[in-house]
Amino acid sequence: MVTKRALWLLPVLATVIWWAGYAGDANGVWPWRHEMLLLTGLLGLGYMALTLLLALRLPRLEVWCGGLDRMLRFHRHSAMAATLALTSHWLLVEAPKWAVTAGWLTRPVRRAADSGAGTGNGLSLHALGNTLGEWSFYLLIALVVVSLLSLVSYGRFRVIHRLAPLIYLAGWIHALCLLPQIGLLTPVGLGIALLGGAGAVAAVYSLLGLTGQRDRHQGRIVALRTLADSTREFTLQLETPLSHYRPGQFAFFEFDAKEGPHPFTLVRVSPDKRQLVIAVRALGDHTRQLVEAARFDDAVTVTGPYGAFVCPARRGQSLWLGAGIGITPFVAWLEGLVACGERGEGITLIQCAPDLAGAVYHQRLAELCQRTGVRYQLHLDREAGRLDLASLAQNKPAAVWFCGPEGMADALARLLPGGRLHRELFRFR
């Protein structure tokens, strides 16, 4: 809810800034086009700046957004809002030109002051700004299309995604080149300089590779164990301890510099925060390669931990539901309860798996649940059919905590209105 309000707050802020500088003298198509160019440009710049700030994984922003998964979803929504605002801006530039060509409008007489605030050597800041603005817009559209349609592998997408800060900087320079006409000390001019400057700082921070640097740790694989045909457990030893950790959080693990970091839940963390355990299931090209080819003493870079899908302080009568590899946060929760000597009466944990061979950690879960007083149920689809989510919802549990396939989570969200469902949004592109 906080992030939804923020998405609507930015248009209000941009409109207030624009209105504060509006002289009330726009009369006719071309003056209003100029005013709407200012408004849509400021709005697009603001959304782009917000998008870059959200990509920095700043701890305070993560808390404000309710976890990194939600912060990155907010990042995607902000990028889409920026694209819509800048598409409107581009149409305001181009559509009147098309109307003039078609004979529907008459081009206004251009004043000398508008024709090109030059530098005295033939270079026009106005022309430079327009060129940068146009090409940065085209690159942004290409980036958004590649992101939405998943046209390339995650590794290639990560490389392409690095263009975003450069696209933003080109767009901000476009706006700065137009400041001689707008006026630096006008409300819109100050908005471009200050709001755009904040985004420029975020862009440079990202280009320098500083994102997550404080939480970055070097380590190696010290043990490997097969949990199922397509799942292996990795035990990693870090050179430096994690600075903070709560059971249920995840971290980004980079085993291959070309592929980049991928998120995995921390199943277990040693008391000294130097030894980590993760479970990797072969669900894609990268995870399949990890399961098949990872070896003892392979190097890894760990960044994190992140996330707000942690064991609730107030548990009471609640349902914990883990499907497939999504059971791992609940293993971490139970390990945490045992370590702290806490109980979990009133909690039911359901583990969903296709069959017994695919039910990772089921023996450990049964043991942990017995020690903590949590009721444990193992649901095997091939024996009992698909889990009846409607029946679970009819029992009206006070809260349901779910981690698993996105389709199953969406079905639960429809059945459990009123904020009773808590889920991890494990989607990072």
The verdict on 241 and 366 lying in the same domain is no
What pLDDT was estimated at residue 429? 57
What pLDDT was estimated at residue 243? 86
DSSP 368-409: HHHHHT-EEEEEEHHHH-S--HHHHHHT--S-EEEES-HHHH
Q: Read off the pLDDT of residues 352-391 as tens digits, 9 standing for 90 and up.
A: 999 998 899 999 999 999 999 999 999 999 999 999 999 8
Contact of 314 with 269, CB cutoff 8 Å: no
The verdict on 238 and 224 lying in the same domain is yes
For helices 125-149 and 163-177, give the axis angle rounded to 10 degrees.
150
The verdict on 386 and 259 lying in the same domain is no
Residue 118 has pLDDT above 60, yes or no: no
Number of helices (H) and strands (E) in the chain: give both, helices first. 15, 12
Query: What CATH code is carried by the domain that includes residue 418?
Result: 3.40.50.80
With respect to residue 227, please indicate whether it lies within any of the assigned structural domains: yes
The verdict on 87 and 146 lying in the same domain is yes
Contact of 347 with 322, CB cutoff 8 Å: no
The verdict on 54 and 188 lying in the same domain is yes
With respect to residue 313, please indicate whether it lies within any of the assigned structural domains: no
Query: What CATH code is carried by the domain that includes residue 251?
Result: 2.40.30.10
For helices 29-54 and 187-207, give the axis angle rounded to 10 degrees.
30
Residue 157 has pLDDT above 60, yes or no: yes
With respect to residue 311, please indicate whether it lies within any of the assigned structural domains: no
With respect to residue 312, please indicate whether it lies within any of the assigned structural domains: no
Categorize the per-residue pLDDT at 121 as very low, low, confident or very high, splitting at 50, 70 and 90: very low
Print the domain residue range for 162: 2-207
Query: What CATH code is carried by the domain that includes residue 127?
Result: 1.20.120.1770
With respect to residue 115, please indicate whether it lies within any of the assigned structural domains: yes
Residue 1 has pLDDT above 70, yes or no: no
Categorize the per-residue pLDDT at 85 as very low, low, confident or very high, splitting at 50, 70 and 90: very high
Categorize the per-residue pLDDT at 427 as very low, low, confident or very high, splitting at 50, 70 and 90: low
The verdict on 159 and 278 lying in the same domain is no
What pLDDT was estimated at residue 122? 42
What pLDDT was estimated at residue 258? 82
Residue 38 has pLDDT above 60, yes or no: yes
The verdict on 153 and 250 lying in the same domain is no
User: 312: number of CA atoms within 13 Å, CB side?
Assistant: 18
Q: Which residue has the higher pLDDT, 295 or 115?
A: 295
Categorize the per-residue pLDDT at 2 as very low, low, confident or very high, splitting at 50, 70 and 90: low
The verdict on 274 and 375 lying in the same domain is no
Q: Read off the pLDDT of residues 161-196 as tens digits, 9 standing for 90 and up.
A: 889 999 999 999 999 998 888 888 999 999 999 999
The verdict on 161 and 31 lying in the same domain is yes
What pLDDT was estimated at residue 114? 52
The verdict on 298 and 361 lying in the same domain is no
pLDDT averaged over every residue in the chain: 88
Q: Read off the pLDDT of residues 223-273 as tens digits, 9 standing for 90 and up.
A: 999 998 789 999 999 999 998 899 999 999 999 888 888 999 999 999 999
The verdict on 202 and 218 lying in the same domain is no
Q: Read off the pLDDT of residues 405-426 as tens digits, 9 standing for 90 and up.
A: 888 999 998 998 777 899 887 6
Tokens of residue 93, six digits: 């530039």
Q: Read off the pLDDT of residues 64-79 as tens digits, 9 standing for 90 and up.
A: 888 888 888 899 899 9
Residue 49 CA, distance from chain mean position: 15
User: In percent, how much of the chain has pLDDT > 90?
Assistant: 58
What pLDDT was estimated at residue 362? 95
Domain boundary among 151, 183, 207: 207
Domain count, the chain: 3
Q: Which residues of 23-53 are buried (b: 16+ CB within 10 A; e: fewer)?
A: eeeeeeeeeebebbbbbbbbbbbbbbbbbbb
Domain boundary among 207, 238, 254: 207
Tokens 């976890």 sit at which residue?
Answer: 67
Q: Read off the pLDDT of residues 263-313 as tens digits, 9 standing for 90 and up.
A: 999 999 999 999 999 999 998 888 899 999 999 999 999 999 999 999 888
The verdict on 347 and 403 lying in the same domain is yes
Domain boundary among 191, 207, 223: 207
With respect to residue 262, please indicate whether it lies within any of the assigned structural domains: yes
Tokens of residue 177, six digits: 């080149």
C-alpha span between 3 and 247 (Å, rounded): 25
With respect to residue 162, please indicate whether it lies within any of the assigned structural domains: yes
With respect to residue 428, please indicate whether it lies within any of the assigned structural domains: no
Residue 125 has pLDDT above 60, yes or no: yes
